[in-house]
Chains A and B, each alone.
Chain A
Amino acid sequence: MGAYLVRRFFLMLLTLFGMSVLIFVLLRVMPGNISDILFESAGLVNPAEKAKIEKELGLDQPLVVQYSTWISGLLRGDLGYAYVSEKPALDEILPRIPITAKLAVLALFFSIVLGVPLGVISAVKQDTPLDYALRVVSLSGLSLPSFWLALLILMGFVHFLGWIPIYTDKPATIWHELALLSIPAAAVGFRASALIMRLTRSSMLEVLRQDYIRTARAKGASAASVNYDHALRNAVLPVITIIGIEAAFLIGGLIVTETVFNIPGVARFLVEAIRWRDYPIVQNLVMFIAVVVVVVNFLVDMAYVVLDPRIKYED
């Protein structure tokens, strides 16, 4: 296990290195840089001035130099300065992370708390009207685009019902903040919950057919104990995998949701930064997201060891 962890750690570093190259290259392949955009919007074309800006930002350097400057800075904890605001990139990114993190955790929480039990119920009540209803709900969760769902929610809950206050920066209490975030989180988490529900259902159906479920019943265990203690513990394994993958997809959903709900999180900020070709912001932020995804997947693999005694990571 120890040697596995060491090897795994280096693999994670390798993955992140690959990610950094990919982000860097993709950004440079995108047409234009910040000076192009500035000059285009200003309608002025003064090549000398443009070259001066590029020189100032280091954009005239060869790509290899630019890359090594970024990475060596990153390793020292120096993320450079944002092109647009001209503030340290770290100061721009850090304050925005908590709100997005809260939103993401809440969305994931929603999707699990909703998806797993409903998936179990759907499987246990297979082919009943309840099962059909839940399957329709989960199918719609997969097919409704989250921006449309978010707009509907906004219209319904904020405009017509007035239940959810419009976003403010300074929520009075933690409950106020939770109320603020819960609806956008539900809008993002709905898709994931639908996926988790469907997977839990099919995985449960598979497990409920197993011999050991019959054994549990023959012991005199109650239906609840059979379904949750015996069946779910086995059925949850593939669901854990999908939760890990969905955690990455969630960030894509957050970009849309933060925009629709006007939440000043990191996801919307990232889109804005991409539009301006604000390389220090985009590069570092995407690297941060990559680290989160890599770590989440590592945790998922570790969860397997805890949940399935048959799995052991040998050296």
Chain B
Amino acid sequence: MDARADVQPEAGAQALLEVDDLQTYFFTRQGVVKAVDGVSFALRRGETLAIVGESGCGKSITALSLLRLIPDPPGRIVGGTVRLAGHDLMTLDEPAMRNVRGNDISMIFQEPMTSLNPVMTIGRQIAEVILLHQDVSRKEALAKAVEMLRLVRIPEPEQRVREYPHQLSGGMRQRAMIAIALACNPKVLIADEPTTALDVTIQAQILELIVELQQKLGTAVILITHDLGVVAETAQRVIVMYAGRKVEEAPVGELFAHALHPYTHGLLASIPRLDLMRGEVNDTPQRLQEITGIVPALTDLPQGCVFAPRCKFADDRCRAQYPPYEQKRSGHWAACWNSDALYGGALHA
């Protein structure tokens, strides 16, 4: 892969989080699984960066790697650096790393039903993170917990702090998770599929809440999702991952207008659109598009482009050599041999 300065020209003084050539491997009996294989990106202050891809593409593992929460064994971060405001997190010892977790970088998880401890009150679970990172009394921490619940718009926060997770609905629990994540005013919030497990009306509310609090608190957000609809509504930049690698990266408008990777096109085409399916656009109703095939086993990656086996445009070069990850248009990067021929690339810039 290219030299770093070349990969992220905008990753200058204002970059808050810089991830460079991150490699997280899992050492299993079936072989080495390269779950994250050389991923680099930069996150600016207050920005929302979306990481999208199918299940198993390594987006969640990337997120967990940033916090160094990869279960070891079998997983291990074997290479790369993660810099937060210039400090390398990979060289920190465990106590120093604990100071980062929940304080500088915090995380919201996919499954609100199981992500809260069932035998602890909501208040205690919020107060815990405050007590871990701030020099306050238990009482002050609980008062702050009430305040946080109010901030995430949970009604009757004074009562809710005394309740247990099973007494809250899924949406309420995810709000409580957000309260925990934001309690220490982190610089970076990682939201790993925060709305996937919720029903649609609640999804919109939770997304609105995240965006609103992000603007209020100035938090930078890494939004991990497979839902491009969510991306369009919230993110400024998008990274598309496939089989542990970045395949495309662009500002959100640019990506939706001029995607340069066949995989991204596949993802975009697989969003259900009522007008297409009713035949309002092309006269004849169209079936929902899918990307044929499945994500390859990460122990047994093809030699060339990892997407080649599922790509209808793949040629011999695709199957033989991994394409370089290069800037095709201004601020728009992709790894595809044929993007110029297929989608125009630099010619239209």
Contacts and interface: CB of A to CB of B under 8 A. Distances in A.
A221 B132 contact: yes
Nearest to A208: B71
Contacts of B326: none
B310 interface: no
A220 B117 contact: no
Interface string B52-82: 0000000000000001010000000000000
B195 interface: no
A211 B109 contact: yes
Given A212-B118, A310-B164, A220 B180 contact: no
B103 interface: yes
A215 B116 contact: yes
B152 interface: no
B27 to A, nearest CB: 14
Interface string A289-308: 00000000000000000011
Contacts of B107: 218
Interface string B77-111: 00000000000000000010011111100110101
A233 interface: yes
A233 B164 CA distance: 14
A106 B115 CA distance: 39
A55 interface: no
Contact of A220 (B118, B132, B166): B132
Nearest to B163: A309
B148 interface: no
A220 B103 contact: yes
B119 A234 contact: yes
B133 interface: yes
A215 B180 contact: yes
A220 B99 contact: yes
Contacts of B99: 220
Given A234-B117, A309-B166, A220 B100 contact: yes
B102 A230 contact: no
Contacts of A219: 101-102, 106, 128-129, 132, 180
A212 B116 contact: yes
B106 A212 contact: no
Nearest to B106: A218
Nearest to B165: A212
B114 interface: yes
A234 B115 CA distance: 13
A173 interface: no
A212 B101 contact: no
A7 interface: no
Interface string A212-255: 10111111111000000010011000000000000000000000
B117 A216 contact: yes
B119 A214 contact: no
B224 to A, nearest CB: 14
Contacts of A212: 114-118
Contacts of B106: 218-219
Contacts of A310: 118-119, 164, 166
B129 A214 contact: no
A309 B118 contact: yes
Interface in B101-150: 101-103, 106-107, 109, 111, 114-121, 128-129, 132-133
Nearest to A127: B73
A209 to B, nearest CB: 9
Given A215-B180, A233-B119, A234-B119, A222 B114 contact: no
A215 B109 contact: yes
B118 A217 contact: no
Contacts of B177: 215
Contact of B115 (A211, A233, A308): A211
**Most chain B beta carbons < 10 A, residue from A212, A214, A233:** A212
Contacts of B114: 210-212
Interface string B227-261: 00000000000000000000000000000000000
Contacts of B118: 212, 234, 308-310
A216 B132 CA distance: 11
Interface string B326-340: 000000000000000
A219 B103 CA distance: 7
B119 A222 contact: no
Contact of B98 (A215, A220, A308): A220
4 tightest Cβ-Cβ pairs between the two chains A and B: A220-B101, A219-B102, A220-B102, A211-B114
11 contacts: A212-B114, A212-B117, A214-B69, A215-B115, A218-B67, A218-B101, A218-B109, A219-B102, A220-B102, A221-B128, A310-B166
Interface of B: 67, 69, 95, 98-103, 106-107, 109, 111, 114-121, 128-129, 132-133, 164, 166, 177, 180
